[in-house]
Amino acid sequence: MKIFKSIKWRLQLWYGLILVVVLAGFGFTAYQLERNRQFGRIDQELHRRLNVLANALHRPPPRRLDQGFFRPPPDQMPDEAPPIRQENRPQPEFRLPPEAAQLFGTNDSNGFYFHITSGTENDRHEIARSENYQKPKAVIQFDHFFDQLNHADLPPEKRPAKLKSMDYQDERITADILPSGELIEVGCSIAPELNELRHTALNLAAVGSLILLVGLTGGWWFVGCALWPVSAISTTAAKISAGDLSQRINVADAESELGQLAAILNSTFARLETAFAQQKQFASDAAHELRTPVTVILTQTQMALARERDAAGYKQTVEACQRAAQRMRKLIESLLELARFDAGQEILKRMKFDFAKMISDSTELVQTLADERGVKIMAELDALEVTGDPERLSQVVTNLLTNAIQYNQPSGEVRVKLESQTGLAVLKIADTGQGIAPEDLPRVFERFYRADKSRTGAGNAGLGLSICKAIVEAHGGTMEVASKQNVGTTFTVRLPV
């Protein structure tokens, strides 16, 4: 059923089941305690009256209910004193003291009554009874003890055990057999107590039902409040799936488990919105960058087809188309490279190599460009080895050195420093250029981002630093930038040794 698939209904049913079990257990325990209290009080009165009757028979006091019969076992009976048979035993004399008569009712059917008999099971003689005595059917359950009582040769384990108080309909009866064989029955009506117990049971049921109703209502409210963030999460997720990425989950209780989940989902939604925005911007920038060389190619070919040209004119047109195609190819290769890094499909070599020598080789590679611009390169390299792809890391160093030279001031300096810091190889490449504006600094690693014209070279699409950062992060490192205007820019690369 659909109702059992709902978390709210399952929690409510489980909560209700536990509440019912607790209330039922409490009610049953309370009822039993009250019943035992009532019947315990009645049993005390019955036993007290039974002792009075036993004393009135001029016999020893009746045995306690936790003792066996007073009669010794047959093997301990003296030879000279054979067992007295029941039919030879004289009838006892019974006189109820006047002060004990008030313990029993006369015509009150609900009062205490007694009945005293003697003899065998088939030949029982009544010794005395109270005026309000009416033979209860429960007395039949005492009959089998008389037959056992008259068999003195029975082993001890087969002799009659103690008689306890018992209930029959609305009466409670207790009985005892004296050592001389008389059966004393004492009973009373328990109708008032049973009626009181019924009222107690009804009261407990009514209170329990009220508590159950209040508990289920409160439980439904608490479960609804606890699961409200789930509904908010579902509603927000539905709006986001419809295209509104600006939606966020509003959860007041941020300390609860669902509040923490909502905070994580909000962070995920924020990153998702940023990623979609970047993707949208990336597609727009890529289209813009590709449009320029395509426009050049189309313009040159249209001009060449417009009229007849000489060989030199056609050659010039083809060369222009070639330059545009090369720029477009370089851009496409960069985009594919970034896409592979984003998808984790770029395969990197993992080998240990001399990082300092690789940086020195990259410095020699760009030395010609530095000489053309009059930029001096100063290197301070500690001997360090790292594990990674030397070709990819050489691409990073070469790109950073080229930018440091290209965007430097004439006759400026480029300082390259490699050192070890807490298990990391730290490379710093600093120039003495005009620097980057503070508002542009956080975006230098964004794809297709160019701070201003001064940092835009010919054919530069703004993907070099993005590729460098992707390569460094693929090696488990980090890449940072710091800059001050009219002072210079410093790029810092940290790689695990």
Selection from 478, 447, 483 nearest residue 462 by Cα: 447
pLDDT tens, 395-408? 899 989 999 998 89
pLDDT tens, 202-246? 999 999 999 999 988 888 888 877 777 777 778 887 887 777 777
What is the rounded average pLDDT of the residues 152-166? 49
Residue that has been written with the tokens 């699409």 in this structure: 461
How sure is the predictor about 62, in pLDDT bands with cuts at 50, 70 and 90? Answer: very low
What is the rounded average pLDDT of the residues 294-303? 84
- Say whether both 71 and 137 belong to one domain: yes
- Say whether both 305 and 364 belong to one domain: no
Torsion of CA 314, 317, 321, 322, to 10 degrees: 60
CA angle 322, 297, 328 (to 5 degrees): 60
Residue that has been written with the tokens 């009256």 in this structure: 49
**DSSP-assigned beta bridge partners for residue 431:** 414
Task: Classify residue 208: in a domain, yes or no.
Answer: no
Of 323, 343, 363, which residue is a domain's last?
Answer: 343
Cα distance between residue 372 and residue 410, in whole Å: 10
Percent residues over pLDDT 90 in the chain: 22
Of 343, 361, 391, which residue is a domain's last?
Answer: 343
How sure is the predictor about 200, in pLDDT bands with cuts at 50, 70 and 90? Answer: very high
- Say whether both 60 and 126 belong to one domain: yes
Q: How far is CA 458 from CA 133, 327, 425, 462, in A?
A: 125, 10, 33, 11
Cα distance between residue 463 and residue 457, in whole Å: 12
Structure tokens at 282: 């990336």
What is the rounded average pLDDT of the residues 311-319? 85
- Say whether both 31 and 178 belong to one domain: yes
Whether the CA torsion 300, 301, 307, 313 is positive or negative: it is positive
- Say whether both 384 and 300 belong to one domain: no
- Say whether both 303 and 363 belong to one domain: no
* DSSP 3-state of 444: coil
| Average pLDDT of the residues of the chain | 78
Percent residues over pLDDT 70 in the chain: 77
Structure tokens at 59: 């016999």
How sure is the predictor about 323, in pLDDT bands with cuts at 50, 70 and 90? Answer: confident
Task: Classify residue 455: in a domain, yes or no.
Answer: yes
- Which of 87-96, 331-340, 465-474 is predicted with the least confidence, judged by mean pLDDT? 87-96
Q: How many C-beta neighbours within 10 Å does residue 322 have?
A: 12
Task: Classify residue 468: in a domain, yes or no.
Answer: yes
Q: Which segments of 101-238 are extended strands (E)?
A: 113-119, 124-129, 166-168, 171-177, 183-189
Cα distance between residue 134 and residue 297, in whole Å: 126
Of 195, 222, 247, which residue is a domain's last?
Answer: 195
Q: How far is CA 355 from CA 30, 401, 492, in A?
A: 83, 15, 15
* Contact predicate 113/105, CB 8 Å: yes
Phi, psi of 83 (to 5 degrees): -60, 140
Rg (CA), the chain: 53
Q: Return the CATH number at 433.
A: 3.30.565.10
Say which residue, 450 or 348, is predicted with more confidence. Answer: 348
The conformational region for residue 423 under phi > 0 = left, psi -120 to 50 = alpha, else beta, is left
Q: What is the domain count for the chain?
A: 3
- Say whether both 446 and 426 belong to one domain: yes
Cα distance between residue 175 and residue 144, in whole Å: 13
| pLDDT computed for residue 136 by the predictor | 54
Q: Which domain holds residue 63?
A: 9-195
Q: How far is CA 35 from CA 32, 204, 214, in A?
A: 5, 13, 28
Sequence-ordered list of residues with C-beta below 8 angstroms from that of 203, at least 6 positions apart, any chain: none
- DSSP-derived pairing of the beta strands 376-381 and 413-421: parallel
- Say whether both 339 and 355 belong to one domain: no
String of DSSP letters for 299-368: HHHHHHHHS---HHHHHHHHHHHHHHHHHHHHHHHHHHHHHHHHHT------EEEEHHHHHHHHHHHTHH
Sequence-ordered list of residues with C-beta below 8 angstroms from that of 184, at least 6 positions apart, any chain: 50, 53, 54, 57, 62, 114, 115, 116, 175, 176, 177, 178
Cα distance between residue 14 and residue 135, in whole Å: 52
Sequence-ordered list of residues with C-beta below 8 angstroms from that of 423, at least 6 positions apart, any chain: 496, 497
Amino acid type, 4: F
| pLDDT computed for residue 170 by the predictor | 81
Say which residue, 293 or 194, is predicted with more confidence. Answer: 194
What is the rounded average pLDDT of the residues 312-321? 85
Sequence-ordered list of residues with C-beta below 8 angstroms from that of 87, at least 6 positions apart, any chain: 120, 123
Task: Classify residue 246: in a domain, yes or no.
Answer: no
Indicate whether this model's pTM tops 0.75: no
| pLDDT computed for residue 355 by the predictor | 93
| pLDDT computed for residue 106 by the predictor | 64
Task: Classify residue 421: in a domain, yes or no.
Answer: yes
Q: Return the CATH number at 271.
A: 1.10.287.130
- Say whether both 300 and 409 belong to one domain: no
Q: How many C-beta neighbours within 10 Å does residue 396 have?
A: 26
* Contact predicate 250/233, CB 8 Å: no
Task: Classify residue 202: in a domain, yes or no.
Answer: no
Cα distance between residue 173 and residue 138, in whole Å: 8
- Say whether both 302 and 363 belong to one domain: no
| pLDDT computed for residue 148 by the predictor | 42
How sure is the predictor about 288, in pLDDT bands with cuts at 50, 70 and 90? Answer: low
Q: Which segments of 408-452 are extended strands (E)?
A: 413-421, 424-431
Task: Classify residue 235: in a domain, yes or no.
Answer: no
CA angle 461, 462, 465 (to 5 degrees): 135
- Say whether both 368 and 337 belong to one domain: no
- Say whether both 96 and 168 belong to one domain: yes
**Is the pLDDT at 287 greater than 60, yes or no?**
yes
Task: Classify residue 245: in a domain, yes or no.
Answer: no
Sequence-ordered list of residues with C-beta below 8 angstroms from that of 434, at least 6 positions apart, any chain: 407, 409, 454, 485, 486
